[in-house]
Amino acid sequence: MLTTDAAQRAIYESADYVIDDDPPIVFQIGSVHHGLGLLLASFNAQSACLLAAGNPRGQILSDDDNLDRRMQLLSKVEQARLNYFVARAENAQQFWAQDSYLIFDIDPLDANRWAREFDQLAWVDIPSSGCAALIWLD
């Protein structure tokens, strides 16, 4: 089981989450973002998640190692034939950023399993309402 301290939680909870659309969609945890709801609707999706693969358990890896992990996650997404967007989480005040994927209509059990497989601390659940929530793995 992963344990997440209060400082790590605060970084995730106060981060900006960015979806590389045109224009980019920037949202925060716990706030309704109508653009997210519209994006889901445009893909006829009921939900989405934001999932990362890099920096397992908050340990900083090299750019090459993180790229390898992102490509492994992308391979899983493509094998499952799920639609996705490139995304990231960033907290400028904490000098923290994490590359991610916005994945449409992934089963929450699969999102949780993949997050655990890549030793992530959390993943972001996005329902059709567009109000994102963090799902902690501890």
Q: Give me the mean pLDDT over the 1-21 stretch.
A: 86
Q: Give me the mean pLDDT over the 55-79 stretch.
A: 96
Residue 68 identity (one-letter amino acid): D
Q: What is the pLDDT of residue 18?
A: 97
Can you tell me which residue has the tokens 């960015």? 18
Please, which pLDDT band fits residue 3 given cuts at 50, 70 and 90?
Answer: low
Whole-Å CA distances, 47 to 63, 65, 101, 128, 134: 30, 29, 14, 5, 14
Can you tell me which residue has the tokens 């106060």? 14
